[in-house]
Amino acid sequence: MADQDKPLVNQEALEAEKPKRNRQDDEQPLVLPGIHRYQFFTNLKDRMLTKNLNRLAMAGIATATGGLVAKPIMNGVGETIYCLEDRACYATLEHCAVGIKYQAELTVATRVADYERFIRNGGLKCIGCGNCVPFCTLRLDLPHVYKRMQEMTMEALKENKVPKQVIAYALKEGLIGAEYIETVSNWYQGKS
């Protein structure tokens, strides 16, 4: 073949150089704000072998998701569902009136009614100053959320749903605010 008849571009070589479209798990971002909790739903390899098994799995997922949404709504903290978990609120830092460092921990603890996580992160110290709100991407009403969780935590305490060692730790570390210190101390000493 004469030189002028040869194609200028080697199509086969170009095809071989094209990136493969297979997405590997270890190439995926570890954290995508707001969706990582649901990421496994979309992984094809996690789907079941038959359609009926798949439907059963989807029914289970729907029930679990319903619970995830229904629980905070029933507890009066429905807006925690919207939390993106992007941790923008961590920038509150010295602006927090009582030195709470990890507001997102409080928000997530409230959503799932995790009293221990709430107490350990200083939730019972919050005075509702609202200084963390401007740092929240969605401007959630965090003082309302934390106040409601404080009430739920105190109810849980009275019902002995909070481990005593968590309260011992909180008292030792100064994690109980003035509003609750007397009640919590009395509970710890068995006076209530």
CB of 129 to ligand SF4, least distance (A): 4
Torsion 74-79-85-89 (CA) sign: negative
Window 47 to 86, contacts with ligand SF4 (CB under 6 A): none
Binding mask 145-184 for ligand SF4 (x = CB under 6 A): -x--------------------------------------
By CB under 6 A, name the one of 79, 80, 85, 92 that touches ligand SF4.
Answer: 92
Least distance between ligand SF4 and beta carbon 107 (Å) = 10
- In angstroms, give the least distance from the CB of 97 to ligand SF4: 5
By CB under 6 A, name the one of 60, 66, 67, 130 that touches ligand SF4: 130
Decide: is 140 part of the binding site for ligand SF4 (CB under 6 A). Answer: no
Long-range contacts of 66-74 (CB under 8 A, 24+ apart): 71/111, 71/112, 71/113, 72/110, 72/111, 72/112
143 near ligand SF4, rule: CB under 6 A: yes
Q: Does 129 bind ligand SF4 (CB under 6 A)?
A: yes
Give whichever of 74 and 129 is closer to ligand SF4, judged by the CB atom: 129
What is the contact surface with ligand SF4 in residues (CB under 6 A)?
Answer: 92, 96-98, 100, 103, 126-132, 142-143, 146
